[in-house]
Amino acid sequence: MTNTKIKIKNLYKIFGSNPKNAMEYVRNGLSKQDLLEKHSHVLGLRDINIDISEKCISVIMGLSGSGKSTLIRHINRLIEPTEGEVVIDGDDVLAMSAEELRDFRRNKASMVFQKFALFPHRSVIQNAAYGLTIQKIPEKEAEERSQHWIDRVGLSGFENHYPAQLSGGMQQRVGLARALTTDAEILLMDEAFSALDPLIRTDMQEILLDLQSELNKTIVFITHDLDEALRIGDDITILRDGEIIQQGSPQDIVMRPSNDYIADFIKDVNRSRVLLVRSIMVPADSENGPKIGMNIPLEEALSQLSSKQAMEGSVVDSEGKVVGKLDLSTAIEAIRRPERSSNDLQYR
């Protein structure tokens, strides 16, 4: 497995006038609803434990109000926790002095925001260069480095425009360029693509995956959209009312939803696109039938099988070694919607 880059341990956040006091009740198991009604404090996060792996895209998913923004802001300490630990590369973020924290934010973690949060008085290139300006990097170097990322996100020619002159998709490209320009190892993305319409969102996801295959940053990506989570996540954490209700790979979540809430969530997902061959193959070492890569989605595997009119294929790893077999009926069974929802269908 890869190394843990960001370790969040027993993190609690309570909003209100006296959070320390309210911690008592929360530790004794009072629900978010009751805490709000009886003590007028808002439970933001309850006992969050996550290990975020280096060089992966870790998605944190949940509906509105589940505490996603609150959680991601603890990583660069834009929000102070009520209790708990955030450790990055062995350094305790909460123990940093104001100056160490600024250094950390300048060099190690950059952020992309849901509503873009661009500087309206700075041009595109000045926005992209913001992090470097803050670090007092000479103007010429800052300009070259920002130009590079402006080109990479596909905004060449718009350097001297102002944010108000750009469409939403373009503004978020500026947001992305601004975050990439500082060369930070950690990229925090709070619903970065949620405000964009579907086509542009897919575009942006592609840009991100493309960049990631080459940059290998540690990305924490927040979304409320399951398709987006499954598409780009190496790892998914699902939040509900400030608590983690499931953590795992996209396949884990789709194959083994830990409760009805999640099962309900995933029932409309196109499973053939999410599930990878490796998650449903059965171990085997002898070859029979056409070769199928272990890391391709089922959709693709099925079309390969049917084009060769085979009932089963042998699954191979990236070096071509046989590691298992996939037969058509297992694959189709896996793609079917889970039991519960087919029952639902019968009632209609």
Partner 1 sequence: MDFFDTFPAMDRQGLRDLKKGIDSSFREFSRSYGEGIEDFFEPLLHFLVWLEKLLINAPWPVVIVGIAILAWLGSRSWKLVAGTVIAFLVIGYFGMWKDTMATLAIISVATLLCISFGIPLGIWMARSERVQLAITPVLDVMQTIPSFVYLIPVVMLLGIGKVPGLIAVCIYAIPPLVRLTNLGIRLVDKEVLEAADAFGADNRQKLFGVQIPLALPNIFAGVNQTIMMSLAMVVIASMIGVKGLGLPVLRAVSNQYLALGLLNGLAIVVLAIIFDRVSQAYGRRLQAHREGTGHD
User: Of these, 58, 69, 172, 304, which contacts Mg ion (CB under 5 A)?
Assistant: 69
Among positions 80-119, residues that touch partner 1 (CB under 8 A) are 101-107, 110-111, 113, 115, 117-119
In angstroms, what is the minimal distance from the CB of 49 to partner 1? 24
Q: Which is nearer to Mg ion, 190 or 235 (CB)?
A: 190
Told to check if 66 binds Mg ion by CB under 5 A, we report no
Told to check if 149 binds partner 1 by CB under 8 A, we report no
Q: What is the CA 61 to chain-centroid distance, rounded?
A: 7
Among positions 175-204, residues that touch partner 1 (CB under 8 A) are 178, 182, 188
The residue of the chain with the least Cβ separation from Mg ion equals 69
Identity of residue 287: E
Told to check if 44 binds ligand ATP by CB under 6 A, we report yes
Among positions 89-128, residues that touch ligand ATP (CB under 6 A) are none
Smallest CA-to-CA distance from 121 within 168, 172, 178, 164 is with: 164
Residue pointed to by tokens 């449903």:
280
Told to check if 25 binds ligand ATP by CB under 6 A, we report no
Q: What string marks each residue from 291 to 320 as x (binds ligand ATP by CB under 6 A) or -?
A: ------------------------------
Told to check if 70 binds partner 1 by CB under 8 A, we report no
N-terminal to C-terminal alpha carbon distance within the chain:
45
* Exposure string for 18-52, b = 16+ CB within 10 A, e = fewer: ebeebeebbeeebebeebeeebebbbbbbebebbb
Among positions 188-227, residues that touch ligand ATP (CB under 6 A) are 224
Would you tell me how many other CB atoms lie within 10 Å of the CB of residue 343? Answer: 9
SS3 content of the chain, % helix, strand, coil (to 5): 45, 25, 35
Q: What is the DSSP track for 76-110?
A: TTSS--SEEEEEETTEEGGG--HHHHHHHHHHTEE
Told to check if 246 binds Mg ion by CB under 5 A, we report no
User: Of these, 29, 90, 120, 320, which contacts partner 1 (CB under 8 A)?
Assistant: 120
Q: Which is nearer to partner 1, 1 or 98 (CB)?
A: 98
Q: What is the CA 22 to chain-centroid distance, rounded?
A: 30
What is the binding site for ligand ATP (CB under 6 A)? 15, 42, 44, 62, 64-70, 224
